[in-house]
Structure 1
Amino acid sequence: MEGDKLSVVVSVDVECNTARIKVMGDVDTRNVRALYSVARRANALSPGLGIVLDLGRASATADALAELEHCAAFQVLPQDAGSADTACSLSLIPSARTAATAVSQVALAA
């Protein structure tokens, strides 16, 4: 996965209820911090803004995906996204490529 650039497009709905961060490229534990930073900036736009991190067009390592799932589960952006942990209404749309890889690994293990 190394070498592919990470690209993001951020869109905010008209009523400022939701920001969608569409991610393209390969997400790994090195560049996942950049996603935290983008999510933190989106979170600062409006109190209570829902943030959707859309990895549908990205691929992600298992470790990076686990970090992002942890953030979504606990509704917090980690400290390395800024000066302190930040509460955030974060949801995650996982990568189809990452999910397919995980399913095939489970099938092989069975």
Structure 2
Amino acid sequence: MAEKLDVLVRVDLEGAHVQITVQGRVTEQSVQALYVVVKRANALMRGLEMEIDLTRASVEPAALDQLRAYSESRHLPAHIDPLQADCRLSVLAPAEFLTTTGNARLAA
């Protein structure tokens, strides 16, 4: 798996939805770059539903834990977004993180 992140952002302003598809290796360090992408997408319009699709990425458990925590709190890290704007983020985890129910979505 490539160390470099490959990120594709799809924006549907009419449907108020953003999908961020990630490939590569997501680490505790590289997840910071994803937060910046999410912040920029979140600034496009209020109330956007954002989804980070990690199903094609290799993700360190600590990075996934961070993403889960921020999706549950509905805020990005303060050093990324000092104003702490509401952020409606869900995460689609890679297959190795599927729960026993088979649901990969970590938060809504």
TM range (shorter): 0.7 to 0.9
Question: Greater Rg, structure 1 or structure 2?
Answer: 1
Aligned residue in 2 for 1:74: 73
CA contact (8 A) 1:17 1:50 kept: yes
| Identity over aligned pairs, percent | 38
Pairwise mapping of residues 4-23 of structure 1 onto structure 2 (< 5 A)? Answer: 4-13=3-12, 15-23=14-22
CA contact (8 A) 1:78 1:84 kept: no
Please report the TM-score for the alignment, with normalisation by the length of structure 2. Answer: 0.83
Q: How many residue pairs align between the two structures?
A: 100
Aligned residue in 1 for 2:97: 99
CA contact (8 A) 1:5 1:26 kept: yes
In structure 1, stretches of 5+ residues that fail to align are 104-110
Greater helix content? 1
In structure 2, stretches of 5+ residues that fail to align are 101-108
d(CA) in 1 for partners of 2:13, 2:81: 27
Q: CA deviation at 1:95?
A: 1.3
Q: CA deviation at 1:44?
A: 0.2
